[in-house]
Structure 1
Amino acid sequence: MDVMLRALVLLADPVVITAMVLAAIYGLAVGSVPGLTASMAVALIIPITYFLDPVPALAAVMSLSAMAIFAGDLPGALLRIPGTPASAAYADEAYRMTQQGRASQALGVGLVCSAVGGVFGAILLITAAPWLARIALQFSSYEKFWLACLGLTAAAAVSQGHWTKGALSLLLGLAIAQVGLDPVSGQMRFTFGFSALTAGLSFIPVLIGFFAIPELLRYALGAGRNGAQVAAAAVGLFHGLWTDLKRLRWGIARGSAIGAVIGAIPGAGADIAAYVSYALSKRLSRHPEKFGTGITDGIASASASNNSSIGGALIPATVFGIPGDSLTAIIIGVLFMKGLNPGPNVFLMNADLINAVFLSYLIANILIVPFGFAAIAGYRYVLKVPKSVLMPAILAFCIVGAFAVDNTMFAVLTMLMMGIVAYALEEGGYPLAPAILGLVIGPMLEETFLTSLTRARGELLAFVERPVAGGLATVTIILWLSPLIVFLVRLIRNRKDAQRDRGGQSRA
C-alpha cells in the first residue's frame, strides 16, 4: 500500500498530468486516422520522451497507447475503415448499426467497454503481473500453434452468408500471408521474381485496402452508402447504455479476460484477442443469426478484449522483457531508455517508478470515457463535410498511412490492388472478415507449426504431449467437429421422428 501511495504522489506532478493529457489528445488524433496505428503513434513520440523525466515520459506513453487503441473504433463505426487492426474485428458490426441510425449506441457501448476492458487489464497488471507472466512463459510453439488453430475457428463466426464463401475468403487471407520469405528456412515463396515481395505484403496496407478502397470505389461508381444519419453520432451517446451494459455484463467480463490472457502470450496481440472474443460471443449467443446485422453483443466483448490485451501484453514485457506485440516492444525500448530494465528485479529496485507506470495506465483507461466522448463529438463534424471533399481526403489519409508503413510506393500499390480485390469479393457476396483473420493468424500458424515440427523431428504426437497443448488441441478439435456432431444428432432425431410417424400411420 505504501508503494502505491508513493506511486500516486509521483503521478500527481503537474508535469506528469500535462504529459498524459497531451499524449491522450495525440493518441486519439493518430488512432482515428486509418493506417496510423497505436504502435506508429508511440514510435513517433519517442524522440520527445528523450527530454522528459522517466515518470512523465512513461505515463505519456501509457496514456497514448490506451487512447490510440480506442480511437481506432471511430472510423470503423462511422466510415467502415478501422483505424487500428484490432478494430477490424467488429468494424462491420458497428457500421451496420451506423447505417441503421444507431451510431450513438454502437460508439457508446464501444467507448465504455473499451474503458472497462482497459481497467480490467490494468488491475490485472498491477495485482498479478509476476504470476500471469510465469503462465504466459509456459506457452511454447506447440501451445501457440493450437491457439492459432483455435483462432481460425473464429472464421466460421465472422463469416456472414454461406460457409463455403467464408472458407474461400479465409483461404485467400492465408494465401496472401504466405507471400515472402519462409519464416523457418528463409526460402522465397510466391514472389514471382519481384524483390519488393521478399518481405511479404505488409498488413496495414492490405487492411486499409480491404476496408477503405471498396467504400471509395462505391462512391466513385455512384453506389456510395448514405451517411446522413450518422451526422449526430454523439447525440444521446449514453442513452439506454446502462441497459445494454447490464445485459452484456458477462460478455464484457469474458472479453476482458480473453484479451488479458491472449495479450500476455507473446506474438498473439490485440487483433487475435478481438476476433476470438467476437467469435465466442456469437457461438454462445442465443441469437447467433443476428450477428453481422448490427447488434452490440459482439462489439461489447471484442472492444473490451481489444483494450484489456494491452494490459496483458505489458505483463511479460515488464516482468521478463518479452514483448507481447509490436506496441509493447516499443514500450520496452522506452523502459530501457529511461533506465528501467524489464525483469523481476525492477519490482525490487524501482518499485515506486514501475507502479507509477502501471497506475498511469489504469488512469488513462478511466480517462478514455471523457476523452472518448469529446473525440466522438468532434468526429461527427468530419461527417458533415460534403462527400465530394471527404472521400478524396480519406483517400489521401489512406495513401499516407500505407506509405508510412514501409516508406515505399509499393505499399501504396499493395493497398490499391487489395482494395480492388476486396471490392470484387464483396460484390460477389464473399465476406472480408475471414480474409483479414487469415492475414492476422496465418504467419503465427505457419511459424509455430514449422518450428514445432522441427523441434519434434517430424513426430506429430509432440503437438499434444504437453498438458496445455493437449488441452488446447482437445478444445479446438471439439469445436471443429461440433457442426458434424450437431448434424448427425439432428439426422438421427429426424429419422426417429419419421419412424414414429410411420408407426402411428400404420396403427391408424
Structure 2
Amino acid sequence: MDAILGGMALVFNLETMAVILACAAFGVFLGAVPGLTATMAVALLVPVTYFMDPIPAIAAMVTTAAVTIFAGDIPGAYLRIPGTPSSAAYVDEAYQFSLRGKASECLGVALVCSVIGGVAGTLVLIFVAPSLAEVALKFSSFEYFWLAVLGLSCAIFISSGSRLKALLSLCIGLFLSTVGLDLITGSPRFTFDVPDLMAGVNFIPVMIGMFAIAEVMRFSAERSADLKVAVKDSGKVFGEVRPALRKHWPSVLRGSGTGSLIGVLPGAGADIAAWVSYAVSRKMSKTPEKFGTGHIEGIVEAGSSNNAAVSGSWVPALVFGIPGDSITAVVIGVLYMKGMNPGPAIFLNGGEMIYGLFTVFIVANLVMLPVGYIAIRASKGFVATPPRIVMPIVLAFCVVGAYAINNSDVDIILMLIAGLAAFILGLASFPIAPIILGLVLGGLLEKSFMTSMMRSNGDLTEFFSRPISAGLGTLVLVVWFLPLIVRLLRSLRRPPLQLPR
C-alpha cells in the first residue's frame, strides 16, 4: 500500500499534471494533422524528456500517444482524411456521419470508446502483463505469417462493394511492399536506381497521398467552391454516446479485448488492431449491410480497439524489453535513459516507480475525455470554413508531413503519385484501404514466410506443426471458407423450385 500511495504521489503533483495536460494538447494537434503519426509525435518529445524526471517523461509519452490516436479521427470525420494510420480503417464510416451533419456525435462516441479501450488496455497491463507477454514470446515466424495473412484477409472482408476490386487493391499494396532490397539476396527490387527507395516505400507518404491528396483532387474536379465540409452539425458531442453504448456494449468489450491482445504481440500495434476489430465487427454484426453507410457499430469496436492496443503494447516492452510497436520502441530508449531498465526486475524492484507508471496510464486516458471534448467542439470550425480555404491548408500540411518523415523530396513525389493513383482508382470504385493494409503488412508477410521456409527446409506442413500457428492457420481458413460454407448451407435449406404443371 505504501508503494501504491507513493506511486500516486509521483503523478498527482503540479509538474506531472501540467506535463500531461500540455502533452494532451500537443497530441490533439499532431493527431489532427494528416501524416503526423503518434510515433512521430512521441519521437519529437524525446529531446524534451532529457530535462524531466522519469515519471513526467513517461507521462508525456503515454499521454501524447493516447490522445494522438484519437485525434486522428477528427480529420477523418470532417474531411475523409485519417490523421493517423489507425484511423484509416473506419475513415469512410466516420465521413458518412459528417455528410449527415452528425460528425460531433460520431466523434463523441469515438472519444468515449477510446477512453474505455485505453483504460481496458491499462488493466490488462496491470493484471495480466507477465502471462500475456509469455504467450507473445512464443510467437515465431510461423505465427507471424498467419497473423499477417489474417490481417490481409480482413482487407477483403471490410471493403464495401466488389470483393474482386478489393483483392486487386490489396495486390497493389503487396506489390508496393516488395520495393527495396530483397530479404534473401540483398539485391534491389523496383528501385529504379533511386537510393531513397532502397529501404522500401514508406507507407506514411502513400497514406497521405491516397487519402488526403486524392481528396483535394476530388474537390478540385468537382469545381464546387461553395460546398461545405458538412451540411450541418448538431453539436451534441455526447448525444449518441449512451444509446450507442447501450446497444453495442458487446462491441466495446470485444474491441477492447482484441486491441489489448493484438497490442501485446510485438510489432502489431494500434493500426492492425483497428483493421482487425473493424473486420470482426462487420462479420459479427446483425446488420453488416449498413457498414460503409455511416454505421456506429464499426466505429465503436475499432475506436476502443486501437487505444487498447496502445496500452497493451507496453506489456512486452515493460516485462521483457521487447517493443510492442513503433511507439514503445522509442519509449524503451527513454526508459533506459531514466534508469528504468525494462525486464521482469522492473516489477520486483520498481516499487513506487512502477505504480506511478500504472497511474500515469489511467490518468492519461481519463484526461483524454475533457481534452477530446474541447478538441471536437473546436473542430466545428471545419463545418463553417469553405473547402476552398481548408483544402490548400490541408495540402500544405500534407507536404510538410510527408517531407518531415525522412527530410526527403522522394517522399513528396511518392505522396503525389499515390494521390493521383488513388484518384483514378476511385473513379473506378476501387477501395483504397486494402492498398494501405497490403503495404503495411506485406513486409511482415514476406519476411515471416521466407524465414519459415528456410527453417522448415521448404516443408509447408511446418506451418501447422506448432499449437499457436496451427490455431491461427485454422482461424485463417475459417475466415476464408466460412462465407462459402454458409452460402452452401443456405442453398441446401431452400425448398426446391416447383415447376408449373
- TM-score under structure 1 length normalisation: 0.95
Post-superposition CA distance 1:338-377 (Å, at most 9, x none): 0111000111222211221121011111111111000111
Which is further off, 2-11 or 187-196?
187-196
Match of 1:248 in 2: 248
Q: Indicate if the aligned counterparts of 2:232 and 2:383 stay in contact, CA closer than 8 A.
A: yes
**Structure 1 counterpart SS, 2:293:** coil
Match of 1:20 in 2: 20
Match of 1:368 in 2: 368
Match of 2:358 in 1: 358
Shift of 1:143: 0.9
**Structure 1 counterpart SS, 2:222:** coil
Post-superposition CA distance 1:282-331 (Å, at most 9, x none): 01111111100111011110011110001111000011110011111011
Give the AA of the match of 1:25: A
Post-superposition CA distance 1:398-440 (Å, at most 9, x none): 0000001111011001000000000011111111122122122
1:377 is aligned to 2:377: yes
**Structure 2 counterpart SS, 1:227:** coil
Give the direction of change, closer, same or farther, for the CA distance of 1:338–1:230 in structure 2 (3 Å limit): farther
**What is the aligned-residue RMSD (CA, Å)?**
1.6
Match of 2:492 in 1: 492
1:65 is aligned to 2:69: no
Give the AA of the match of 2:338: K
Post-superposition CA distance 1:190-231 (Å, at most 9, x none): 223333321111110000001001110122223569435366
**Structure 1 counterpart SS, 2:238:** coil
Shift of 1:65: 1.2
1:123 is aligned to 2:123: yes
Shift of 1:142: 0.8
Match of 1:97 in 2: 97
Match of 2:182 in 1: 182
Match of 2:408 in 1: 408
Take 1:185 and 1:483, find their aligned partners in 2: how far apart are those partners? 39
Post-superposition CA distance 1:96-149 (Å, at most 9, x none): 111111112211111110110001001111111112111111111111111111
**Structure 1 counterpart SS, 2:250:** helix
Match of 1:271 in 2: 271
Take 1:138 and 1:355, find their aligned partners in 2: how far apart are those partners? 27
Q: Indicate if the aligned counterparts of 1:72 and 1:82 stay in contact, CA closer than 8 A.
A: yes
Alignment of 1:76-475 (within 5 A): 76-223=76-223, 226-229=227-230, 232=233, 235-475=235-475
Give the direction of change, closer, same or farther, for the CA distance of 1:352–1:474 in structure 2 (3 Å limit): same
**Structure 1 counterpart SS, 2:379:** helix
**Structure 2 counterpart SS, 1:267:** coil
Give the AA of the match of 1:156: I
Take 1:440 and 1:321, find their aligned partners in 2: how far apart are those partners? 24
Give the direction of change, closer, same or farther, for the CA distance of 1:228–1:29 in structure 2 (3 Å limit): closer
Take 1:185 and 1:120, find their aligned partners in 2: how far apart are those partners? 44
Give the AA of the match of 1:85: P
Which is further off, 353-362 or 484-493?
484-493
Take 1:6 and 1:281, find their aligned partners in 2: how far apart are those partners? 41
What is the aligned residue count? 500
Take 1:62 and 1:414, find their aligned partners in 2: how far apart are those partners? 31
Shift of 1:391: 0.9
Q: Indicate if the aligned counterparts of 2:78 and 2:98 stay in contact, CA closer than 8 A.
A: yes
**Structure 1 counterpart SS, 2:380:** helix
Take 2:445 and 2:429, find their aligned partners in 1: how far apart are those partners? 27
Q: Indicate if the aligned counterparts of 2:228 and 2:386 stay in contact, CA closer than 8 A.
A: no
Take 1:264 and 1:115, find their aligned partners in 2: how far apart are those partners? 18
Take 1:231 and 1:22, find their aligned partners in 2: how far apart are those partners? 31
Post-superposition CA distance 1:248-304 (Å, at most 9, x none): 100111011111111111111111110000001001111111100111011110011
Give the AA of the match of 1:260: S
Take 1:362 and 1:453, find their aligned partners in 2: how far apart are those partners? 43
Unpaired runs of at least 5, structure 1: none
Take 2:480 and 2:469, find their aligned partners in 1: how far apart are those partners? 16
**Structure 2 counterpart SS, 1:82:** coil
Take 1:124 and 1:184, find their aligned partners in 2: how far apart are those partners? 38
Shift of 1:184: 4.2
Q: Indicate if the aligned counterparts of 2:101 and 2:232 stay in contact, CA closer than 8 A.
A: no
Shift of 1:479: 1.4
Give the AA of the match of 2:32: S
Give the AA of the match of 2:416: L
Give the direction of change, closer, same or farther, for the CA distance of 1:410–1:231 in structure 2 (3 Å limit): farther
Give the direction of change, closer, same or farther, for the CA distance of 1:230–1:309 in structure 2 (3 Å limit): farther
**Structure 1 counterpart SS, 2:210:** helix
Give the AA of the match of 2:268: A
Percent identity for Structure 1 against Structure 2: 47
Take 1:443 and 1:166, find their aligned partners in 2: how far apart are those partners? 19
Post-superposition CA distance 1:29-83 (Å, at most 9, x none): 1111111111111111111111111111111211111111111111111111111
Shift of 1:157: 2.2
Take 1:448 and 1:175, find their aligned partners in 2: how far apart are those partners? 17
Take 1:226 and 1:153, find their aligned partners in 2: how far apart are those partners? 37
Shift of 1:446: 1.2
